Structure 1
Amino acid sequence: MVMHSSKAVLGQLNSRRGEQALEVAGRWGFAARGVIYVLVGVLALRIALGGGGGEQADKGGALAEIASKPFGAALLWVVGIGLVGMALWQLSEAVWGTKTTKRLLSVGRAVFYGVVSWSVLTFAAGDHSQGGGSSDQQSQDVTAKALDLPAGQWLVAAVGVGIAVTGVVGAVRAGMRKYHKHLKLGEMSATSRRAVDVTGVSGGIARGLVFLVAGGFAVAAAVQYDPDKAKGMDDTLRAFAGTPAGPWLMAAIALGLAMFGVFCFAMARWRRV
């Protein structure tokens, strides 16, 4: 009886340690995602205001910005490992989740963050051809390969529609403050709640608009059978400057993305993981 009791206690301790490790991984992942979005927003804002030079307002540009700073190499590893943590946490959600739809979404997110973390870590290790490339060129290359597949146009169009729908749903959910159900609201002060709502709503809507426009470009690439119509994050953001609102709309979207990054930091602190 004592032996069985001891094994049960050890099993509970190991289970609890595993849960704590996954919680740390998830929170680290949200913080790492926040760093990327804040930097992309800042880079896009520079470009919108006439600066930025040859900078890219995308993940590659964000990594280059980190690398250029003191202790940048170490920070790149921190961000990359954090994104690995996000991938592992999403994978745990896929394994132990209760709803099939959410589990499938978690699988997709786990794969996505796995790929992103690999590109960041290879960049940190010195291979800048992986994580530091232009998102625009990468999007066009992937689209060109996809278009050459059987039913490639339909595949690219479906992906584009999926990205656009993801953007619309994300923006609507942000506007409705659906993220509240994931937060430990009882541990937050009134000021913290207001700050989270400002960053969560504005950031979520801005991010959703970027996804919507990027998806539209992918659909255009499929319809016209032209991979050059596909746009990465950088060209998608620059497209906002080409609207009648001019660079001011791009600046507003850029601020929104930076806000979303700050919102990710809040999720790292108060999300139920």
Structure 2
Amino acid sequence: MGETTVERVGRKAAGHPGFHYMTRGGLVARGLLYLLIGWLALQVAFGDGGGKEADRTGALQAVAEKPGGPVVLWLMAAGFVAIALWQAAEALYGRPVPDGDKPTKRLSSAARAVIYLAGFAATIAFLAGNSGQSSDKQSKTFTARAMAEPGGRWLILAIGIGFLVWGAVVVAGAVRRSFLKELTGMGPAARRVVQPVGVVGNLARGLVGGAVGVFLGYAALSFEPDKAQGLDGTLREFAETPAGVWGLVAVAVGVLVFGLYCFCEARWRKVEAVRRHG
């Protein structure tokens, strides 16, 4: 069957250079967010957190306090929308990687579209004066409400397992350097820089995501919603490992490096949706 008019229009829009520039701008916004979170985590590690959480809310607060902060926040919101639309296009038309047309890859793109749309909504709410709860409070509140419902405990466990699996996949991808398949146009010199940055950044991102899953799973199995942790609480828990505060420092630096990797993605990431032939 041929494509409908709507599908053709959508595919043409997704392939427009202007849409690609918007996507790359969104990747810059994502990089800024991770840089801020990593910086806040470092401040927490050295006892100078200033009362801010090392999560999205804390990052937005840090930006808002600077001259021109609201303008930057509006640009970040636009960036999150751009990424959400890009991921929606990949869900509809496929990803520009090997087997990018497979249902599993499309589903993962659809999930990311929802996540970034939520990020856009949270940023707009913040600009409207509703700073919202920290990631820790949100996680605990959601977990408690879910556990109060029939089967909610198992839902939380499933979500925790999902985070854990996602984290393991990201870590494995970092070790295998599979993220390089999503980049194009790099020369040998750029590749020598981008590869270690991508490895370190994705390792940290996967470790943090997996740790969030561990806390959610523990909360479900122990039937203690307060054991659930958001991003801020998860990062702080790394200071409780045998490595002490240096465990948090190492992860915070890794998050900072992932922010830098996002800027590399803004330059070299393949952002064109797969085009069908015939």
Give TM-score scaled by structure 2 length.
0.88
Distance 2:78 2:124 in 1: 8
Aligned-residue CA RMSD (Å)? 1.7
Percent identity between the two aligned chains? 45
Q: 1:239 — aligned with what?
A: 237
8 Å CA contact retained: 1:210, 1:237: yes
Equivalences for residues 44-193 of structure 1 within 5 A: 44-97=41-94, 98-129=101-132, 133-184=133-184, 187-193=185-191
**Alpha-carbon offset, residue 52 of structure 1:** 1.4
1:170-201 superposed Cα distances (whole Å, 9 cap, x missing partner) = 011012111111111xx323332122112110
- Of 155-164 and 187-196, more deviation after overlay is shown by 187-196
Cα distance, 1:94–1:16 mapped onto 2, change above 3 Å: closer
Distance 1:256 1:245 in 2: 15
**Alpha-carbon offset, residue 20 of structure 1:** 2.0
Distance 1:198 1:49 in 2: 26
1:108-145 superposed Cα distances (whole Å, 9 cap, x missing partner) = 1111111111101221233223xxx2110000011111
SS of structure 1 residue aligned to 2:52: coil
**Alpha-carbon offset, residue 17 of structure 1:** 7.9
**Alpha-carbon offset, residue 256 of structure 1:** 0.2
Superposition misfits of 4+ residues, deviation over 4 angstroms: none
8 Å CA contact retained: 1:83, 1:113: yes
1:225-255 superposed Cα distances (whole Å, 9 cap, x missing partner) = 1110000011100000011110001000000
Distance 2:46 2:263 in 1: 26
Distance 1:177 1:168 in 2: 14
Give TM-score scaled by structure 1 length.
0.90
8 Å CA contact retained: 1:143, 1:156: yes
Q: 1:264 — aligned with what?
A: 262
Larger Rg: 1
Q: 1:5 — aligned with what?
A: none
Distance 2:46 2:19 in 1: 41
1:134-172 superposed Cα distances (whole Å, 9 cap, x missing partner) = 110000011111112221111100100110110011011
8 Å CA contact retained: 1:22, 1:88: no
Q: 1:248 — aligned with what?
A: 246
Q: 1:6 — aligned with what?
A: none
Equivalences for residues 33-44 of structure 1 within 5 A: 33-44=30-41
Point out where structure 2 has 5 or more consecutive residues left out of the alignment.
Answer: 1-7, 95-100, 272-278
Point out where structure 1 has 5 or more consecutive residues left out of the alignment.
Answer: 1-10
Distance 2:13 2:113 in 1: 22
Q: 1:26 — aligned with what?
A: 23
**Alpha-carbon offset, residue 224 of structure 1:** 1.2
Q: 2:203 — aligned with what?
A: 205
8 Å CA contact retained: 2:164, 2:209: yes
**Number of equivalenced pairs:** 257
Distance 1:27 1:95 in 2: 19
Distance 1:237 1:76 in 2: 24
Amino acid across the alignment from 2:81: V
